[in-house]
Amino acid sequence: MAEFTTVDRYPQNNVSSLSILYVEDEEAIRSSLSRMLKRRTEFLIVAENGAEGLEQFKECKPDIVITDIRMPVMDGLTMIAHIREIDQNVPIIITTGHNDEQFFMRSIELGVDKYVKKPVDSKELLAAIVKLSHAIIQQKELHAKNKFILDLMDINPSYLAMLNADGVQYLNQSFMHFLDVKSVEDFAYRYGSLASLIVERDSTLTGDDVLGQWVYERTAGYNTDSIFQVKLPHLTEAQSFLINAVVIPATSQEYLLTITDITKFEKDKQRYQFLAEHDALTKVFNRNKINKELEREVTRVMRYKQRLSLLMIDIDFFKKVNDNYGHQIGDIVLIEIAALMQDRIRKTDVLGRFGGEEFVILMPSTPLDNAAEIADRIRKYVSINNFTTVGHVTCSIGVAEYHHGEMLSDFIKRADDALYLAKDNGRDRVEVGRIE
């Protein structure tokens, strides 16, 4: 069976892509080994003593260091100690002709990777370099892949954050730009934690050390996203973010948060919802929304045996307002009446425009007689108000209370019938629609 050496097992062409720092004070040895190394790599840096070698290391950041021990100005072990303060992982090969135990113990403490006895056998040195190069190439490939992933994360328009038990470990460039910070350390100094920015968080969220798990349990753990409100110190209002958390498989102790700013979408959604539910002119609820509120309130009344009254309101002789002053003035009157009524009802009451000059008010937990009293107060407020251009107008109001089990349409009709009764009886009055 053929016998393979270290040089055979690891391709020598790996060495050609590596940079090597070679430090040797003896000119003859330095010249001989330099020629051999130059044939193997295009990136050879040569120094004559430890001090020069340390400066070259700082400037060039080589992949491998080869050094003698005993040298003038600065010996090899002192240089290695300084290098280890800069880089704990760079492979180091010592060439030495000494067997002093103290040298070997110190070099072990410094994490030297390989010893090659002098006079140096070029094949032995090359074998050591080739063997170390295999791990270096793998590390470089891994670093390149990680850098590629980080580059992708940095250009991602979503905000990305990586957290573990120690808190935030990474923020992508998009997120740092949004937060106006230059690094994770800068973020920690300015904001303290991501958790502190989340509005209405529960007591279990005390810091970023548990933020990943907290979001995960509310999002990825159930395969859903959650919308969180985030308040930054320099902004006047909170913003909306869609946050998702996933566990990083390689560690199971780290979480990647994907944070998407949906503030504009949320505002658009609220605006569209407002437009869908509110009357374009008066900004009170429209008929469609009022019908939904009626259904909801009737369901609640049936379930909890509570009370519900309804006011149907119509502006008297409103056609004359439009005919005499024009529709633009008529619209202003409608706006002013809606605002007047909105200011004089309770927070639990619901005001809406039913169509034209007709309005309705839902009054939860309100018996018929109480609703009639409130209706009369509203009528008086309208009658004494001085409206733009037209001066005084009046309104007629019909009031009805829901009776358990009746059809919603019957409930509305009783209030509407009471309204028409008020108009038939002279207007500017309140009539009550009772069940006989």
By annotation, the residues acting in catalysis are: 357
Q: Quickly list DSSP for 33-92.
A: HHHHHHHH-SEEEEESSHHHHHHHHHHH--SEEEEESS-SSS-HHHHHHHHHHH-SS--E
> What's the token pair of residue 388?
């733009």
Residues 415 and 420: their CA atoms lie apart, in Å, by 9
Cβ atoms of residues 426 and 410 within 8 Å: no
The identity of residue 170, as a single letter, is Y
Residues 113 and 267: their CA atoms lie apart, in Å, by 61
- Non-local CB neighbours of 367 within 8 Å, separated by 6+ positions: 307, 309, 401
* H-assigned helices in 156-200: 173-179, 184-191
SS3 (DSSP) at 149: helix
**CA-CA-CA-CA torsion sign (265, 270, 276, 282):** negative
